[in-house]
Amino acid sequence: MSDKTQTKEIEKVEETKAEKPKKHRNLGYKIIIVLLLLTLVAGAGVWAYTTGKLDFIFNPTPAEEEKVELKHTDTITAKTDGVYITDVSEVVDEVMPSIVAITSKTVINSGLFDFFFFGTNTPKSYTTEGAGSGVIVAEDDENLYILTNNHVVKDASELSVQFIDDTSHDASIKGVSKRKDIAIVSVSKSGIENETLKKIKIATLGDSNKLKVGNGVIAIGNALGYGQSVTIGVVSALNREITTEDYTQEMIQTDAAINGGNSGGALLNSKGEVVGINSVKYSQNGTITSASIEGMGFAIPISDVAELIASLIKGEDDKELTLGIEGYMTNSGNIANYKLPEGLYVSAITAGGNAEKSELEIGNIITEIEGNKVTSLDSVRKALNKKQHGGTVTLKVKYASRNEYKEKEIIVTLQ
């Protein structure tokens, strides 16, 4: 009961007591006392309920502490009274010294000439600047080695790397893999101040094969060139096949915000381990760019490129893997007219190529590669892109034997 209500009740009783006989006066007082007691009890109940709710949010009881306790390996804690507590600051503090911003400068030939204005046929050119990210993955006595995307450094005439203390240093490309869209750039330690060297750290690489859909992840990178920023999300899907003009590979899909400039940055698990290299996102028109659509970013699984990273640090460029053959896809016409099996017809074998060292022969028709049906030249390229140098690929081929085609399996070593 409110104070205003109480006042009205008291006034009503006082107006009445003058009219009533004296013997009823005690009854009026008793009513007032009862009402006051009821008000106090109700108020105490509301206070206790409200205090109990606040105490539950900010000071969990022992039974609830296990559910909401923040740990170093937690990114999102349990729901408490409708409130989610999210705190990745400890992980970010640990990892941020391993993340760098990368600036590239590329000279573009416009294709236009100054002949009409200056009497010269020298093509005009201009310089464009790009922004990306990178992760410090190794060092030796002379250099720091930074992992990034190939498309971040592709065709760059100049590269610079900015560390956590905002100091910038020239960098050079050490090794690249076009088919996996990764690159290693190096920065000489001789030009880096000791104070900066004390602040930076080598990142810890995790195991992306252990990821599960729904796992919490953190993305760090130089989004839109504004400097390092942090976004969080979950693993939305695994083994998503992504195709660009340069490569086809399986990636981690996440709803953590990834934008232009995030390319080459780290996708982290809740322990602060690098499990992916942020690379692309879907755009509104269905292409892979940094525009429009939210919640569909993709990262290269770190376990898929771990061995390759070591090779690139040594300066060994990752050349595209090939079978070392020439051929064409059989079509409905020659399948019907010549009774050819559907697949890739081998018309020539390249001297010194991988197929030359195998049992593959001219006239063979490759019908399957790694257990998948060969429906186009691109399906062969996709299968090879998933392999490592020195690995093997299994082919199922059909070969002519008198008046019929027989089938056999051939293994080709990829060098």
263 catalytic residue (yes or no): yes
Alpha-helical segments (H) within 135-208: 150-153, 194-199
Q: What is the DSSP letter of 142?
A: S
CA atoms lying within 13 Å on the CB side of residue 129: 5
Alpha-helical segments (H) within 272-331: 302-313
- List the catalytic residue out of 133, 186, 208, 263: 263
181 catalytic residue (yes or no): yes
Phi and psi dihedrals of 200, rounded to 5? Answer: -85, 160
400 with 364: CB under 8 angstroms?
no
Rounded distance between C-alpha atoms, residue 397 and residue 366, angstroms: 4
Alpha-helical segments (H) within 18-61: 25-58
175 with 313: CB under 8 angstroms?
yes
Rounded distance between C-alpha atoms, residue 201 and residue 189, angstroms: 13
151 catalytic residue (yes or no): yes
- List the catalytic residue out of 98, 151, 270, 379: 151
The single-letter code of the amino acid at 318 is D
Q: What tokens does 217 get?
A: 């992840």
Quick one: angle between helices 25-58 and 3-17, nearest 10? Answer: 170
Q: What is the DSSP letter of 130?
A: E
Catalytic residue ranges: 151, 181, 263
